[in-house]
Structure 1
Amino acid sequence: MSEKTSGLSTRHLSTGSLVFMIIAASAPLTVLAGGVPTSFAVSGRLGVPVTYVVLGILLMLFAIGYGAMSGHIQNAGAFYAYITEGLGGRQGIGAAVLALVAYNMMQIGLYGLFGFSLATVLTAWTGVSVPWWVAALLGWALVGVLGTHSVDLSAKVLGVLVSLEFLIVIVVGVLGLRTAPEGVSLEALRPGDFFTQGIGVLLAFGVAAFMGFESGAIYSEEAKDPRRTVSRATFIAVGVIAVFYAFSAWTLAMGVGPSAINEQSSELGPDLLFVWLASISPALSECANLLFITSLLAALIAFHNAAARYFFALGRSGVLPHKLAFSGSTGAPVAGSVTQSILALIVVVGFAAVGAGSSLGKMFPIVTLFTWLTNAAAFGLVFLLAVTSVAILVWFVRHPRGHGVITRWVAPALAAVGLGTVAALILVNFDLMIGSDQPSALVFVMPGIIIASGVFGLVWGEIILRRRPDAGLATKGIDAVPKRPADPDPSHTNAPQERTLS
């Protein structure tokens, strides 16, 4: 098959472009406006800034092995490839199906918040009531167009949007420190307010803010010098995200006041940031509100690209229909992008139909589409991170490749334990995460969808490998890439050749 139908654009993305793609998925302004107040409100603690530091350290541990392995294996289905190489073909296929479901749920769920936010702004500007689903479909159309074009275009758009996000968050930080009604203090940074009874809730809510950081490896086939670019971009992104989240959460607490931040967060929720800014500068509040919407758009683009590349990788390997491996003249995963867009359209239209006349009113897309799908997706992705850590550990046991014991053993092991614990905490606190104050079937249904997708993937993997033992990433279509200079350690001269998995 020609490259046009089965190949992504090659070696276009620089480290900077990858960093923007990764940070866009984490959506800094969305986290500041939505995630930070929610964490303050639900936990009732001041230790929210410390949460991001702790999670940043944990994810750095994951990135050590993840980045090192990315130098040897490049594939658009990152989790799929890593778990296949480390744990086996059927486990890889199980992980692939789970990842595909999780990325799609995260992307589609964001349309609920995006549609609500954009509709609110359009209604305020025009005086005409705009349904949330109409606003969501405007974003859907733009995301769909970008997804079928060169990844360079998405990278440029995301670069602009992420830069604007950083600018407004920095402005918020400066204003928070300048207007601090109770003075500037380190009260919200005390470890004692993190290592306390509410630590599980803080970790469960906090980790969702980092979702998307692992997406660097998804673009490894399209990155310049992937041996270094992916690892470097992942480390930079995690470090920047962790420091930025901790700084912005601390300065928001200072701006509102440590004694009032929990109560105000409970009362105002995501509106807290904009109400507080409006008391300082109404124009700045309007600007932040607009950039909040573009922040969501950036996240939609980033997760759309990730899901499209998973469809591409699974189509290319035969796990899903091979037609999904079609790519256009620009090297974009066209079939995967169109498939993801169709799924999003079906779900958004379905929720719009069900929500017509709902007692929840305008909050329907927030309470249902956004909250249900994104929190379930966060559980799935954290669980996959934990499993991937185990796969990395096992792979380096077999193929040391000259890496030290910290890279091969210590970091992956600690990451597996830490991320597994966070995944368990999300399950334990899932009722709080979806805002349920009473027993709800959703507590079991939404995580159940994620778990069921993984089980289905394992069964499907078993069926595929029984029918075609040569199928899957582990054995099919492996193309060699140039070797590194000879390993100076004689004990490693028989190590396997680096490769790109197709």
Structure 2
Amino acid sequence: MSTAPSTELRQGALGVAGIVFLVLAAVAPLTGIIVVASLAIALGNGGGTPMSFFLVAVVLLLFAIGYAQMSKQMVNAGGFYAFVVKGLGRTGGLIAGFIATLGYNFFVVGTIGTSGFFMQTIIADLTGFNLHWYVWGLLSIVVSFFMARSGVDFSSKVLGVALVLEVLMLVIFDVSVLVQTGYDVSAFSPQSVLSGSLPIGLLLAATGFLGFEATSLFSEESKNPLKTVPRATYTSIVAIGIILGVTTWAVVSATGVEQAQQTAIDHLDAGDLIFSLSEKYLGGGLTIVMMILLLVSLFAAMLAFHNSASRYLFSLGRAKVLPSVLARTRSNGAPQFAGMVQAGFAAIVAALFAVAGADPIVSLVPSMLGFGTLSVLVLQGLAALSIVVHFRRQKDGRLWSTLIAPGIGFLGIASIVVLAVANFDIVAGSDALLIQLMPLLLVVAIIGGILFGSHLRRNRPDVYRGLSEDLERFTVRD
């Protein structure tokens, strides 16, 4: 007797902590400090950078107030794609789904480059064993695939251990700076906050929060999702803000608030600002531990983004926008075909760069992570707008939680998106013409979503209706 293939995710697998682990692992706090914070100090507002992280956290918390209200009305693995369908209609949801699928899949390709490059470099430095970056990256995505295949609860446990280790390292660094030097409150003075370029500081700080939006992707797999997802979202944003903000405060205090920007610029090419401070405040032994934990952090980010990208493919497959085979799951609820396609896509694209002899840090990482970052920022903006539109259509009387707070959040996120497009060379870390043209892929996604939506409405009305029927407990309005 044949059994129909499963298309169900595993319900009740994740609590608040499990979702937070999945989200914070994607954020990769240690990587955020070593890469993002260093760039923000150098290219943004220097010694005032800690405030940039706190300001972005406030904007995202305002957005999260509306996000929480929307999350209480629906449970869907489509994440922000589902939010946009609910607020802006089916065609808007298609556009969001295409942008999300492009962005998250490109992000995983980028993590192959970063993970592979740093594994090759650090392992060669520590052991003398030198293996090509693509081999390390390929091994990482293969391991990520099999871990994800073991179930989302298994992934959350692995990521939880990685997260605790890297956050513990940052806490040790923070305390060491506090004891030896103290924290300089002048970092929050108007003179410091407005020094350098505050807009660039805010833009780069915002990239440090990428991944928090994945909380809704795991709603179908969470315990009591109508409460778990909002709580996990608030917890994630607050945790990211505190970890990155406080540690950046420790960094600028260690360098001297007034000298922070120039010091970061001096270390920009080598990318070793944090490691140089670690040598001073933690010593050589713990600095080596930090290097190893950086590899753990990068792998954790890959695993987390692989899980997120797989769920977007799963959701679009279940809605029959993409081949329905992507919606098949294993007995443990893991989206097996979506995960296989995602990992295969990432490995093949990264292989093309490797075969071409491209430097991963110069070409692969900037193009993939830069575009992925922009895509996720646009996705956040679309979701914020959808929340406001949906509740206005419903004539909801809770003005603070459904209009004012998410509206301010939308304006803040939209401003960051404009900054990201205008300064894409900084987001991508490259001014190469091909990379500068990558934002045009978003235009392609928008046009493609509109045309495909029109095609479905005329020729496949059942699939078009299914874009909303796949969601729970609401009626979509076009």
Q: Normalization by structure 1: what TM-score? A: 0.89
1:52 deviates by 0.6
Q: Which residue of 1 aligns with 2:404?
A: 410
Equivalent in the alignment of 1:162:
163
Q: Does 1:229 align with 2:228?
A: yes
- The alpha-carbon deviation at position 475 of structure 1 amounts to 5.5
Deviations 1:419-475 (A, max 9, x none): 111100011111233344xx6423532211233223222222221222122324765
Cα distance in structure 2, aligned partners of 1:440 and 1:291: 31
Closer, same or farther: CA 57–85 of 1 in aligned 2, 3 Å? same
- 1:319 is paired with a residue of what secondary structure? coil
Residue of 429, 433, 437 corresponding to 2:427 = 433
Q: Decide which of 451, 464, 474 is 1:459's aligned counterpart.
A: 451
Match of 2:208 in 1: 209
Alignment of 1:326-337 (within 5 A): 326-337=328-339
Please identify, of 304-313 and 389-398, the stretch whose mean Cα deviation from structure 2 is larger. Answer: 389-398
Distance 1:277 1:462, change over 3 A: same
Quote how far apart the aligned CAs of 1:142 are: 0.9
Matched, 1:200 2:194: no
Cα separation, partners in 2 of 1:476 and 1:50, compared to 1, 3 Å: closer
Distance 1:112 1:475 in 2: 34
User: Matches of 1:44 and 1:65 in 2, distance apart?
Assistant: 30
Aligned equivalents of 1:218 and 1:147: distance in 2? 14
The match for 1:423 is: 417
One-letter code of the match for 1:379? L
Deviation, 1:2, is: 6.8
Question: 2:426 and 2:27 mapped to 1: Cα distance?
Answer: 21
**Within 2, Cα distance between the matches of 1:198 and 1:220?**
38
Give 1:479 deviation, angstroms: 7.4
CA distance in 2, matches of 1:59, 1:419: 8
* Residue segments in structure 2 that go unaligned for 5+ positions in a row: none
How far apart, in 2, do the equivalents of 1:214 and 1:423 lie?
A: 15
SS of residue in 2 equivalent to 1:446: coil
* C-alpha distance in structure 1 between counterparts of 2:427 and 2:254, whole Å: 26
Kindly provide the amino acid, as one letter, of the partner of residue 233 in structure 2.
T
Contact 2:82 2:471 in 1 (8 A): no
d(CA) in 2 for partners of 1:24, 1:2? 36
1:493 is matched with none
Amino acid at match of 1:462: S
Q: Which residue of 1 aligns with 2:315?
A: 313
Q: Summarize the Cα distance change of 1:397–1:320 in structure 2 as closer, same or farther, 3 Å threshold.
A: same
String of CA shifts for 1:110-164, please: whole Å, max 9, x gaps: 2211111111122123313221111111211111111212111001001100011
Residue aligning to 2:251: 252
Q: Name the structure 2 match of 1:398.
A: 393
Query: Closer, same or farther in 2 for the Cα pair 1:382/1:478, shift >3 Å?
Result: closer
Contact preservation (8 Å) 2:120, 2:131: yes
Query: Equivalents in 1 of 2:4, 2:161: separation in Å?
Result: 31
Structure 1 pair 351–473 and aligned structure 2 pair: CA distance change class (3 A): farther
Distance of aligned partners of 1:462 and 1:431 in 2 relative to their CA distance in 1, 3 Å threshold: same
One-letter amino acid of the structure 2 residue matched with residue 266 of structure 1? I
CA distance in 2: counterparts of 1:212 and 1:434, whole angstroms: 17
Shift of 1:179: 2.9
**Could you say which residue in structure 2 is the equivalent of 1:240?**
239
Partner SS for 1:452:
helix
Q: Quick one: structure 1 residues 2 and 383, their matched pair in 2 at CA, closer, same or farther if it must change by over 3 Å? A: farther
Deviations 1:246-276 (A, max 9, x none): 1000001112322432223222233111122
- The one-letter code sitting in structure 2 at the alignment partner of 1:226 is P
Identity between Structure 1 and Structure 2 (%): 30
Show structure 1 runs of 5+ residues with no match: 359-363, 481-496
d(CA) in 2 for partners of 1:329, 1:82 = 28
How far, CA to CA, are the matches of 1:211 and 1:238 in structure 2?
10
Opposite residue 366 of structure 2, the aligned amino acid is T
Q: Are residues 152 and 34 of structure 1, via their aligned partners in 2, closer, same or farther at CA, if it must alter by over 3 Å?
A: same
Q: In 2, distance between residues paired with 1:74 and 1:460?
A: 25
1:333-352 → structure 2 map (5 Å cutoff):
333-352=335-354
1:1-52 alpha-carbon deviations (Å, 9 max, x no partner):
9785211111110011111111111111001111111111112522110011
TM-score (norm 2): 0.94
The residue number in structure 2 matching 1:299 is 301
- 3-state SS of the aligned residue for 1:210? coil
Deviation of 1:193 (Å):
2.7
Specify the alignment match of 2:462 in structure 1. 470
The match for 2:80 is: 79
Alignment of 1:281-300 (within 5 A): 281-300=283-302
| Aligned position for 2:373 | 378
Name the SS of the counterpart of 1:266 in structure 2: helix
**Aligned CA distance change for structure 1 residues 479 and 118 (closer, same or farther; 3 Å):** closer
Aligned residue-pair number:
472
AA in 1 matched with 2:223: K
1:101 is aligned to: 102
Q: Once structures 1 and 2 are overlaid, which stretch shifts more, 121-130 or 55-64? A: 121-130
Shift of 1:196: 5.3
Letter of the 2:373 counterpart: A
After superposition, where does 1:261-276 map in structure 2 within 5 Å?
261-269=260-268, 270-276=271-277
1:367 lines up with 2:366 in the alignment: no
Aligned-CA RMSD value? 2.1
